[in-house]
């Protein structure tokens, strides 16, 4: 793309269309990223593929009946029981990972997380992870958990772009899903600097220069850092889905060695590769002689992840998460917290 076309593309792209502007110079990263699960970490109800594909979802539990019914571009969430009922439109769909999707509705000026979620493994509804630990004592408790301000900021902030400024929600400026600016920072000055030919204004922090520890903390903003989990939990199997914490607990973790960094194995601009054998070369970069202190496996040089990063079930999730605490895993061993 020549400079004139680049300037036109950037001028046409607003703050909520940064990927199109970024793709003018960074096509390999910016073009595939919006289609990833991270790119769809938050979806509007009208655009939600799962809700569109399931015109009626039902679940019965704790003496309440739950329904999510499609009506045009809306999905209506209804809960009934004990002679009472509530019916509200779903506001947002959170998550497009392999496990499933949770929903948020708004009532009387407050956001609520639905008490039921969609799970891919069962292709239907079940109680949201953690919801089974408390029995609802009212219709509203059965409908969902009210989100306080901190929870709103954390949830929207980790599932969307430009939804938080400081500690305040800015949903009017939000772009659903994780896009370029969420990790790389605001692009306005960068794009303006390119248009003006001002390299100082155009400069942005190069994430490739970050240390392994810095990358863990960057990803840990949403996937939880070691410090967050170590100081506040959760403990036990409940923290298996917090990859930076688990990875840091690995014996082979090195704060400065790029070969054990999150982005050594995962390209955040592309969908996660779920074929275990595709990671063998990453493991052999150290354990194949590339790092003297890293012992070679006596059993095999293939399917390293399948043995040393076991897949563990998080109760209620209908999904096995890959444990990122790299280790010699033994059958029936206690979960290493």
Summarised one tens digit per residue, pLDDT across range 241-266 is 999 999 999 999 999 999 999 999 99
Q: Determine the Cα–Cα distance for residues 9 and 22; give it in Å rounded to an integer.
A: 9
Is residue 113 over pLDDT 70? yes
For residue 274, whether the previous peptide bond is cis, meaning omega lies within 30 degrees of 0, is no
State the pLDDT at residue 10: 46
Is residue 6 over pLDDT 60? no
Angle at 238 between CA 260 and CA 266, to 5 degrees: 25
Q: Determine the Cα–Cα distance for residues 165 and 157; give it in Å rounded to an integer.
A: 9
The whole-number average pLDDT for the span 271-296 is 93
The whole-number average pLDDT for the span 218-229 is 97
The whole-number average pLDDT for the span 150-158 is 97
Angle at 154 between CA 323 and CA 100, to 5 degrees: 50
| Mean pLDDT of the chain, nearest integer | 92
State the pLDDT at residue 97: 75
User: In Å, what is the CA distance from 77 to each residue of 72, 92, 99, 179?
Assistant: 14, 12, 20, 28
Q: Which residues of 255-289 are buried (b: 16+ CB within 10 A; e: fewer)?
A: eebebbbbbebbebbeeeeeebeebbebbbbbbee
State the pLDDT at residue 5: 47
User: In Å, what is the CA distance from 23 to each residue of 9, 26, 179, 206?
Assistant: 9, 5, 12, 17
User: In Å, what is the CA distance from 68 to each residue of 58, 119, 155, 191?
Assistant: 6, 14, 22, 42
CA dihedral 114, 120, 124, 130 (to 10 degrees): -40
Token output for 228: 């967050």
CA dihedral 173, 177, 179, 181 (to 10 degrees): 40
The pLDDT confidence band at residue 293, using thresholds 50, 70 and 90, is confident
Which residues share a beta bridge with 161?
175
Q: Determine the Cα–Cα distance for residues 290 and 247; give it in Å rounded to an integer.
A: 20
The whole-number average pLDDT for the span 15-21 is 67
Percent of the chain whose predicted confidence (pLDDT) is above 90: 84
Contact call for residues 177 and 38 (beta carbons, < 8 A): yes
Tens digit of each residue's pLDDT (9 = 90 or more) over 301-310:
999 999 999 9
């Amino acid at each position: 793309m020549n400079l004139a076309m680049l300037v036109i593309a950037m001028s046409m792209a607003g703050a909520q269309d940064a990927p199109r502007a970024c793709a003018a110079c960074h096509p390999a990263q910016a073009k595939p990223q919006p289609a990833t699960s991270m790119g769809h970490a938050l979806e509007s109800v009208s655009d939600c593929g799962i809700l569109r594909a399931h015109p009626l979802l039902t679940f019965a539990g704790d003496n309440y009946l739950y329904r999510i019914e499609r009506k045009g571009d809306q999905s209506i969430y209804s809960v009934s029981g004990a002679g009472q009922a509530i019916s509200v439109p779903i506001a947002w769909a959170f998550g497009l990972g392999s496990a499933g999707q949770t929903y948020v509705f708004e009532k009387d000026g407050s956001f609520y997380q639905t008490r039921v979620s969609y799970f891919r493994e069962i292709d239907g509804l079940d109680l949201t992870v953690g919801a089974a630990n408390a029995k609802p004592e009212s219709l509203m408790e059965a409908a969902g958990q009210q989100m306080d301000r901190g929870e709103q900021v954390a949830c929207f902030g980790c599932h969307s772009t430009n939804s938080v400024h400081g500690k305040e929600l800015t949903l009017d400026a939000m772009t659903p899903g994780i896009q370029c600016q969420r990790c790389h920072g605001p692009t306005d000055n960068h794009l303006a600097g390119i248009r003006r030919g001002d390299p100082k204004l155009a400069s942005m922090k190069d994430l490739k220069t970050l240390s392994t520890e810095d990358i863990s903390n960057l990803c840990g903003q949403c996937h939880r850092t070691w410090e967050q989990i170590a100081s506040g939990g959760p403990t036990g199997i409940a923290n298996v889905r917090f990859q930076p914490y688990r990875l840091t607990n690995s014996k082979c973790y090195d704060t400065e060695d790029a070969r054990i960094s999150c982005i050594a194995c995962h390209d955040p601009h592309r969908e996660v590769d779920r074929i275990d054998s595709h990671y063998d070369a990453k493991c052999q970069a150290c354990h194949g002689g590339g790092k003297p202190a890293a012992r070679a496996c006596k059993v095999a040089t293939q399917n390293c992840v399948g043995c040393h990063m076991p897949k563990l079930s998080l109760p209620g999730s209908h999904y096995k998460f890959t444990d990122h605490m790299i280790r010699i895993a033994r059958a029936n061993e206690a979960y290493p917290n």
